[in-house]
C-alpha cells in the first residue's frame, strides 16, 4: 500500500513526500481509514511505529477537506469544521513536554501546505506567549494535562468546539498520575466528538478508560514492524557499580561513539555522569525534569545535530526523543520497571533501522535484569570487559529488600496499582518509577544473579543504520 491509496489530499501527499516517505507503516495503514471515516479508535502502538502520523494525517485531512469516500465508502465521515473564532477543533493530550513538542512538530511538517494552525502548550515555559497564540486562534491544540488545566482555570482556552480528542500514550498517562486531570478535561469537552486512544499496552486501567470514553471504536493492534529483539542488538556487560563510569568512558574512547543516548534512574545521577563525560573530553548534556524547558530543547537539538556525543537522560525526559537512525542506547542503570526497558531501547532501531542497546549491570541490579529477561522471554548476551572484571560478589546493603523505600522491580507485582500510587509531580512530568522528577531512586532486588555463562557481544557496535522509507 502507498500513501496515495489512502485518500489523502495533494497538500498532505506533498508534505509526506518531502519527508521522504511513500509507504505507510502498519499502524498508519490501518488507523488512517478509520480516523478519516470519523470513527472512534482504540489503537495499541508502541513508540517507533509511526503512530503520530497515524492520527495527525487524517485529522489534517478532515480539517481541510470534505468527507472522502475513498477512506471508507460505507461510513462517510463528517468533516471537521475549520476555525470560526478562536476555539480549537482537535485536542491532543500527551504526558510530557517533549512529546507535546514532537506531536506539534509533526502537525507543522505534515500540515505546512494546508494553512492549519497549531499550538503545543506545556509547563516549564512562559504562559503569556501561549495565551497570545490561543487568542489568535488554533485549529489543533496539543497539550499536557497540567498546563491545559491551568489555562482552563484562567479561562484562556475554549474547549467547547473540540470535535476530536486524541489521548496519546494513555498507559503513560496513568503511570504519571494524570487520570484525574484527564477526567476533568473530558468533562469540559462536547459530548458529541470523535475519540482516539493510543497506548503501548492495554492494561486494565486503560481498558476502563477506553470503555468510558470510546463509542463503538475500531480496534487496531499493531506490533512493531520488526520486534525489538530483531531490530536492536541487546547485550549486557557485568560490572561493579563503582566502575560503571570508567567502563562507559572506555567504550566511548575505544569505539569512537558519537551519538549515544544514556539512561540513568535519577536526575542527580544524570547530572553527575554528564559532568564526568564532559571532564573526559566527551561532549554531553543531561536531560531531566529539573532542567528548564529551554535547556531541554537546546540539549535535544544539540544531540540531534551531533554537537554533543552523549545525551544523559532520565526515563520520562527521554519520551520525546525521536531520531530515526539513533545508533545506540546505553542503560547506565537498569530501570526498576521492566516495561521501561522496552521504551528505552525503542529509542534506537526505529523506522526499520538497526541499533544497539547495551546495559551496564551490577550485582545490585540482578533482580531488574531477571525481570527484563522474563519480559523478553530470553536471556541477554552477557560479557565481562577485560580490565574491568567485577569484584563485588554480594549485593550492597542498600539493595536489601528490607531497606527503606524498597520497591518491587516489576510493575506486574504491584497489587492495586493505580493513578494515586503513581502520582508524583505532574507539572514537571514525574514518574513514580523514576524518571524526570519525583521518586527516581528505587530499590533493587533480592536474589543473586544465579549461574550465568559469560557470552561475547556486550560491547559490540551496531550495524550502520539505514533509514527506511
Statement: residue 417 has pLDDT above 60:
no
Same domain assignment for residues 271 and 131: no
CA-to-CA separations, 74 to 31, 67, 205, in angstroms, rounded: 16, 12, 33
Contacts of 101 (CB under 8 A, 6+ apart): 120, 122, 297, 320
**Which of 62-71, 73-82, 141-150 is least confident?**
73-82
- Number of domains the chain is built from: 2
Same domain assignment for residues 336 and 424: yes
Statement: residue 411 has pLDDT above 50:
no
Contacts of 412 (CB under 8 A, 6+ apart): none
Residue that is last in its domain, among 221, 245, 267: 221
* Residue-wise pLDDT tens digits, 250-298: 999 999 998 999 999 999 999 999 999 999 999 999 998 788 878 888 8
> Do the Cβ atoms of 324 and 351 come closer than 8 Å?
yes
* Residue-wise pLDDT tens digits, 150-159: 999 999 999 9
Q: Is residue 448 part of a domain?
A: no
- CATH number of the CATH domain containing 118: 3.40.50.300
Let me know if 289 is exposed, middle or buried by CB neighbors in 10 A (0-12, 13-18, 19+): buried
- What stretch of H or E contains 92? strand 90-93
Position 451 scores a pLDDT of: 35
Same domain assignment for residues 259 and 202: no
Position 284 scores a pLDDT of: 95
Same domain assignment for residues 41 and 182: yes
Strand partners, 328: 260, 356
Statement: residue 423 has pLDDT above 60:
no
Range of the structural domain that residue 86 is part of: 3-221
Position 395 scores a pLDDT of: 73
* Confidence category of residue 469, pLDDT binned at 50, 70, 90: very low
Same domain assignment for residues 176 and 50: yes
Same domain assignment for residues 208 and 88: yes
Statement: residue 467 has pLDDT above 60:
no
Give me the helices (H) in 326-451, please.
Answer: 338-345, 366-376, 419-422
Q: Is residue 438 part of a domain?
A: no
Q: Is residue 463 part of a domain?
A: no
Same domain assignment for residues 208 and 281: no
Same domain assignment for residues 305 and 213: no
Query: Cα–Cα distance between 157 and 312 in angstroms, integer?
Result: 35
* Residue-wise pLDDT tens digits, 155-173: 999 999 999 999 998 888 8
Statement: residue 389 has pLDDT above 80:
yes
Same domain assignment for residues 266 and 360: yes
Query: Cα–Cα distance between 27 and 55 in angstroms, integer?
Result: 10
Taking the model in full, what pTM does it have?
0.61
* Confidence category of residue 141, pLDDT binned at 50, 70, 90: very high
Same domain assignment for residues 357 and 320: yes
> Do the Cβ atoms of 216 and 37 come closer than 8 Å?
no
Statement: residue 324 has pLDDT above 50:
yes
Query: Cα–Cα distance between 363 and 361 in angstroms, integer?
Result: 7
CA-to-CA separations, 127 to 101, 104, 118, in angstroms, rounded: 15, 17, 16
Same domain assignment for residues 189 and 246: no
Same domain assignment for residues 284 and 347: yes
> Do the Cβ atoms of 169 and 196 come closer than 8 Å?
no
Amino acid at each position: 500500500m502507498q500513501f496515495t491509496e489512502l485518500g489523502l489530499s495533494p497538500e498532505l501527499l506533498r508534505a509526506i513526500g518531502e519527508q521522504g516517505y511513500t509507504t505507510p507503516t502498519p499502524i498508519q495503514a490501518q488507523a488512517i481509514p478509520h480516523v478519516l471515516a470519523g470513527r472512534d479508535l482504540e489503537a495499541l502502538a508502541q513508540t517507533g511505529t509511526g503512530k503520530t502520523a497515524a492520527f495527525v494525517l487524517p485529522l489534517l485531512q478532515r480539517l481541510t477537506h470534505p468527507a472522502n469516500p475513498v477512506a471508507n465508502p460505507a461510513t462517510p465521515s463528517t468533516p471537521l469544521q475549520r476555525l470560526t473564532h478562536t476555539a480549537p477543533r482537535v485536542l491532543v493530550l500527551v504526558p510530557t513536554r517533549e512529546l507535546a513538542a514532537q506531536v506539534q512538530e509533526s502537525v507543522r511538517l505534515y500540515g505546512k501546505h494546508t494553512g492549519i494552525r497549531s499550538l503545543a502548550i506545556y509547563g516549564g515555559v512562559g504562559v503569556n506567549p501561549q495565551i497570545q497564540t490561543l487568542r489568535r486562534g488554533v485549529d489543533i491544540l496539543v497539550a499536557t494535562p497540567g498546563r491545559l488545566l491551568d489555562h482552563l482555570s484562567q479561562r484562556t482556552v475554549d474547549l467547547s468546539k473540540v470535535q476530536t480528542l486524541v489521548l496519546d500514550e494513555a498507559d503513560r498517562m496513568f503511570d504519571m498520575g494524570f487520570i484525574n486531570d484527564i477526567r476533568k478535561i473530558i468533562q469540559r469537552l462536547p459530548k458529541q466528538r470523535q475519540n482516539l486512544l493510543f497506548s503501548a499496552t492495554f492494561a486494565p486501567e486503560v481498558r476502563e478508560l477506553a470503555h468510558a470514553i470510546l463509542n463503538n471504536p475500531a480496534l487496531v493492534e499493531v506490533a512493531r514492524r520488526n520486534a525489538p529483539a530483531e531490530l536492536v542488538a541487546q547485550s549486557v556487560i557485568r560490572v561493579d557499580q563503582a566502575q560503571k563510569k570508567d567502563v562507559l568512558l572506555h567504550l566511548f574512547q575505544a569505539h569512537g561513539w558519537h551519538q549515544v543516548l544514556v539512561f540513568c534512574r535519577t536526575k542527580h545521577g544524570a547530572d553527575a555522569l554528564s559532568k564526568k563525560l564532559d571532564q573526559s573530553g566527551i561532549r554531553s548534556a543531561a536531560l531531566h525534569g529539573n532542567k528548564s524547558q529551554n535547556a531541554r530543547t537546546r540539549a535535544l537539538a544539540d544531540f540531534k545535530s551531533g554537537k554533543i556525543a552523549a545525551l544523559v537522560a532520565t526515563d520520562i525526559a527521554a519520551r520525546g526523543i525521536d531520531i530515526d537512525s539513533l545508533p545506540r542506547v546505553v542503560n547506565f542503570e537498569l530501570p526498576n520497571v521492566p516495561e521501561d526497558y522496552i521504551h528505552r531501547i525503542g529509542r534506537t532501531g526505529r523506522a526499520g533501522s538497526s541499533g544497539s542497546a547495551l546495559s551496564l549491570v551490577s550485582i545490585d541490579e540482578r533482580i531488574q535484569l531477571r525481570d527484563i529477561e522474563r519480559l523478553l522471554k530470553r536471556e541477554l548476551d552477557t560479557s565481562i570487559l577485560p580490565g574491568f572484571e567485577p569484584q563485588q560478589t554480594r549485593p550492597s546493603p542498600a539493595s536489601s529488600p528490607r531497606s527503606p523505600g524498597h520497591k518491587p522491580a516489576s510493575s506486574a507485582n504491584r497489587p492495586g496499582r493505580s493513578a494515586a500510587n503513581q502520582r508524583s509531580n505532574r507539572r514537571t512530568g514525574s514518574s513514580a518509577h523514576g524518571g524526570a522528577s519525583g521518586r527516581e531512586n528505587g530499590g533493587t532486588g533480592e536474589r543473586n544473579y544465579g549461574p550465568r555463562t559469560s557470552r561475547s557481544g556486550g560491547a559490540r557496535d551496531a550495524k550502520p543504520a539505514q533509514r527506511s522509507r
